Homo-oligomer: A and B are copies of this chain.
């Protein structure tokens, strides 16, 4: 039976074998929610890069530039890390180079995976259907906060596990059990629960209520953004 596992931090991914595996990257506040919203509204591609400098260089080559450090938009860039920015009409059919504190790092540590998929509450069911249609093991990689456990990224893993119960062996490790128990407590009021987490406290001074609401909305987009080469595009 195919395995479904969750990894709580990019710093722990070395403990998993990820070859022949689909890695679903989860950075709910806000990188993977933003990527989902962008690709879901017609953005052509997103090129995730690790450093501000790389992003800047791509900007000179014609990419739009997006990103944050510590939740704050990088001043000289075209966009920050808000899903609403990526949904703007002017980016339809365009490509954005993007760097974020945790999300792009999670993507880069997973590079040996068979496939890397962008997951968020916004495309929960689409991701579930996609991975169920493949014949591969799955790891949800929670992007975390500077290597540490992040509640909201883990809750997404629990939500995905709930949708796929019975279809995968979920008993390798305790992470899936943990994520499912947490999601059970959170799901009746996901937005309210998210207001208890550390990253909400870090961001709340920035007046992002609209973002928090969108990032905890389930199944707004039917899209499975996938890394092809070095760009995230809509999976065909």
Which residues on A are within 8 Å of B, measured CB to CB? 8-9, 11-12, 15, 145-151, 154, 171-175, 177-178, 181-182, 184-185, 196-199, 201
Contact = CB atoms under 8 A, between A and B. Distances in A.
Given A8-B8, A9-B12, A11-B15, A178 B201 contact: no
B15 A146 contact: yes
Given A8-B8, A12-B12, A12-B148, A198 B173 contact: yes
Contacts of A149: 8, 173-175, 178
A177 B3 CA distance: 27
Contacts of A199: 174
A197 B184 contact: no
A11 B174 CA distance: 16
B173 A181 contact: no
The 8 closest A-B pairs by CB, nearest first: A151-B174, A15-B147, A149-B175, A174-B198, A181-B185, A148-B173, A174-B197, A149-B174
> Which of A149, A150, A196 has the most chain B CB atoms closer than 10 A to its own CB?
A149
A171 B177 CA distance: 23
A177 B194 CA distance: 11
Nearest to A174: B151
A174 B146 contact: no
Contacts of A181: 181-182, 185
Nearest to A11: B12
A178 B154 CA distance: 10
Nearest to A197: B174
Contacts of A185: 181, 184-185
A197 to B, nearest CB: 5
A203 to B, nearest CB: 14
Given A146-B15, A178-B182, A201 B171 contact: yes
A56 B15 CA distance: 29
A175 B154 CA distance: 11
Contacts of A198: 171-174, 177
